[in-house]
A and B are shown apart, each in its own frame.
Chain A
Amino acid sequence: EAQVTQNPRYLITVTGKKLTVTCSQNMNHEYMSWYRQDPGLGLRQIYYSMNVEVTDKGDVPEGYKVSRKEKRNFPLILESPSPNQTSLYFCASSLGAGNTIYFGEGSWLTVV
């Protein structure tokens, strides 16, 4: 089954404790991205990757890092999480930048 898989789905962590949210897709897609979704603000792009070793900032990149060492994986790293990063996070992928975007199931992150 074609899918985008994120882990963990739910996480509560403390301020400053580094964490990584993993994302993997099995569709051989070149384009991957991370979004956060907050009430009243909608989906906002954090980072995107056009291909292996090619990443760039989206609209809200502050406080996040990403890497794309393999085509199928695109982890999101919070080096020093803060409470304002409490949100619902989605990983997404598409065949190319101009193709339909497919989303993962989401990761609920709470930073206390």
Chain B
Amino acid sequence: EDQVTQSPEALRLQEGESSSLNCSYTVSGLRGLFWYRQDPGKGPEFLFTLYSAGEEKEKERLKATLTKKESFLHITAPKPEDSATYLCAVRDSGGYQKVTFGIGTKLQVIP
């Protein structure tokens, strides 16, 4: 069974204080690792897809990296508007390519 574990569950940062969120996974044949951002009461918003170990993607202050066992979402010099819950998900290589989500990391950036 595919599993996704995100840590920490919650993270509080001062504005400008860089940090990283972790996503550890076990999957039967990785067909993609996804990062989403979710604001309270809203639907998850797509950020990145990573497909193979060593791959990196960037968007503004966010950078996602992937190894064979985990992914990191690095946040450089965060701003209060980066406050949200960040979700990690993996897609496996099964028949309908099931997607399994982690519980998320709730990030709060304080001015």
With an 8 A cutoff between CB atoms, is B104 at the interface?
yes
* Interchain nearest-CB distance for A24 vs B (Å): 14
A72 vs B26: C-alpha distance in the bound complex, in angstroms?
Answer: 33
With an 8 A cutoff between CB atoms, is A41 at the interface?
yes
Check if B49 sits within 8 Å of A100, measured CB to CB: yes
A108 vs B49: C-alpha distance in the bound complex, in angstroms?
Answer: 28
A44 vs B89: C-alpha distance in the bound complex, in angstroms?
Answer: 11
| Majority SS at the chain A contact face | strand
Q: Residue on A with the closest CB to B6? A: A42
Q: Residue on B with the closest CB to A102? A: B46
Q: Residue on A with the closest CB to B45? A: A103
User: 20 A–B contact pairs at CB < 8 A?
Assistant: A4-B43, A42-B87, A42-B102, A42-B104, A44-B101, A45-B99, A90-B43, A90-B44, A92-B43, A97-B97, A98-B91, A98-B97, A100-B34, A100-B46, A102-B46, A103-B44, A106-B41, A106-B42, A106-B43, A108-B41
Q: Which 10 residue pairs of A and B lie closest in terms of their CB atoms, listed nearest first? A: A103-B43, A43-B101, A42-B103, A97-B97, A103-B44, A42-B101, A105-B43, A97-B96, A98-B97, A104-B43
A residues lining the B interface (CB < 8 Å): 4, 40-45, 48, 50, 56, 88, 90, 92, 97-98, 100-106, 108
